[in-house]
Chain A
């Protein structure tokens, strides 16, 4: 009964470099979410995948951010040309079904702490 896993747990990078963050959702969960949590702040929604539908990218802060979900399972969040303000914990969550006006519990991973120097 593995939960949501994320890697790496910590990432330190230099300003201007690209980073990739990985999320492995709970097996069978069709919905996958990426969030950002800056220090001492709440949760900021970034992007949402549901099955084979086009993702909801409405929360992505800039075009430097992108995400993919391959085979309906593993997802990668890519941040290009990182900036210091990108420093935050990036959380991934998955749920059984997303959308349709019914809330299905989102199970969160432990997050990836990104530090941009």
Chain B
């Protein structure tokens, strides 16, 4: 069946602080994980991905950590800015096939407090 990232609904942080968004998944066959960000009134935008043979990947101000043992991944955003306010989705995928249509859960709404 589908494996959809499960998130906490809302996270509020002060501007400049670091934030951690968590995501749990259920399908142990998932071997590729992507994060998207959706700002209000816009379509989702790709942020970063990680393959199952890695446990950490860094981008610009973002780091994704993967723990396959407990089927959990997190997105860390350093020094948050107002533009980081958005809903964040993770999507576990199986690179072995499928229609490649994405399925997101409800995501986590990150609110940056001034």
Residues of A within 8 A of B (CB): 4, 31, 33, 35, 40-46, 48, 56, 58-59, 91, 93, 98-99, 101-103, 105-111
Contacts and interface: CB of A to CB of B under 8 A. Distances in A.
A41 B106 contact: yes
Interface of B: 4, 32, 34, 41-46, 49, 89, 93, 95-107
A114 to B, nearest CB: 15
12 contacts: A35-B101, A42-B103, A44-B103, A48-B99, A48-B100, A48-B101, A58-B99, A93-B43, A101-B98, A103-B34, A105-B46, A110-B42
B101 A56 contact: yes
B106 A108 contact: no
Contact of B43 (A41, A46, A91): A91
A42 B87 CA distance: 10
B101 A109 contact: no
Given A59-B101, A110-B41, A103 B93 contact: yes
B105 A103 contact: no
B99 A45 contact: yes
A43 B96 contact: no
A98 B98 CA distance: 10
Nearest to B103: A45
The 5 closest A-B pairs by CB, nearest first: A108-B43, A45-B101, A42-B104, A43-B104, A56-B99
